[in-house]
Structure 1
């Protein structure tokens, strides 16, 4: 009887959902969309937000002599021309949005997912931020402000194919990412007396590769958050061949209700990630460059054992393991057994109310504070893609009053109570403290006038 009731209920909502048009959906705010689970089935089936306004490749112009402000304007123009939701109201006044001069009544999606820069009244030191696959600069809106408060100039770039629609990842080549990251590193090296690079996930792989090829003299440190070393599936190289098969375009076809991060995932995106990780595997780490890393032992996106092996290789290349630090969300003794002697291994200290409710850390949670209005403990958005093939459980995850919180492992998703993939870090304050200390220790206090 319960099964029949659930099916009848979902069927009724399904009929209601199909009465919504794209204009109906985009007339809502980004927060209304995230909460409006009645529309989910329609958005999944029709790909409402899966496709860019203008189909086909887009020209990402990269002029290595152009000022960073020109790059920012070019990227924002592409977002506005291709993202269906670009001008949708999005009243999330993050610290970065506030610093950039936006007010909550006029904030648009495009304002929050565009690349940005926070400038001090000097050119002493800077941090360059590089987001991951399917992500956007919105992921840095809290961390960037905290780095800014500590006196750093902060820049966040947008990788081609992002902040528009998942379909745009089908028209991107990894060389375009390389070209942009190379420009951003060169430009930042020229504009500031000293700088560091922080990469998240695929952005971490790109950062290491480009920095290692031509290490700028004034780069002081590198930070890798949930770095893309190797996937659990060791047959990622097949993705580029599958992506060429007609009509086999998507690994996941989700509703894409998250305005800042793609939920649908094309085969070409998997091919791009594999290319980025393959380049990283061939790269020697720059000598004498301090390294900070942080990731989860139970990461279901990236193989944490491969990441530990990568850090071991980097430490051997660097020959100074004492300048390398790992903030490890897992068994510190297991990490210590694999890493070279002298490696600085840190264990996160969690003091938030949410700590006791969380099973484990996810790939996507480290960068976000619990108080994040969108991804936080009481945030608007819930990540439920672990149940993508099971609509009733997917919807249950979206609406359950007390879902489980953790990584989307097979064990975690096997419970009757649905799992919401952890999108925030309960030990965020500790993470920021360790990262800030690392940067402060490796930047010079005295810069040229």
Structure 2
């Protein structure tokens, strides 16, 4: 079984540029391929994790990944999947975010002994002469053809800037540059990158008169088509400072039943026989599969120790077993006693804002212990605490603990 068979079986692959050639290629050779990551934030998120899993499967099969940090392309902004122009970022922020990406990638990909490469397209894009670039690269692009690309079509009604229109040329040039420097012959990416990947493979064939290939993998969506990886605080980040291991664990523990088997296949390395067996569980038994999924994905991102802590915290809250030490905890000082509960929750970021907290209370979704909070003016008093500890629940399963320090 080739890695292409593995990726197909696990449900990764969406589109291939030259399927017969790629099948033959994977049967005979070990290749260098790349996936690009634009550092638009200071952490990778769960959508990026899907790409990292593809890279890991490829590397295990002996192929060499190139992780391309988009230090140059981020200065332009990818219009793919966006209804509005991305916010312009400073070069300093882009550099900082790129360094954060590098540290996180090293947890998933083995960069030792040239087994994988980590490069930044700022190294060549920021040095380009615009006129030379237009003559050398732009001459190979048809505007009419570009406008048929999905990433541009969906923006034409609201407005597509000339800045963003250049993104496809820059990404295609990345592929050409990586081909020349490292003999990289395949670009991979999410299915929203299909048009950009086609452009790069076509450019190499035109400029270098040799084959180049593209492969897209599925986007991480729920069974009803919604993008997966969104929490009440935004994206599901891979950085523990931005999304705690417990919150990360709970996200996967609480996904819809219909999504369990797909996530086990895409986001873990479990054998597919086990994945199918767990995915076939029904009714209450599917919770067994959800616990396995939550633990395995959290272990990959945050390590076995943090996964065990998150699991123990969940068991302590929902089954009454174990200590609460690993439940997400905030500290307050004794001088906050007497303040409104709503103000304390907003100050400790348990709720994003007072207005959100007010709405939560009005909708009957806030509990202290097992008691529903109905009074917007409820104050924080000693009798609410047990051993200087207070358990707050938002909705059915979102717990936080408040402790009082001196």
TM-score, normalising length from structure 2? Answer: 0.29
Bigger Rg, structure 1 or 2:
2
Structure that is richer in helix per residue = 2
TM-score, normalising length from structure 1? Answer: 0.26
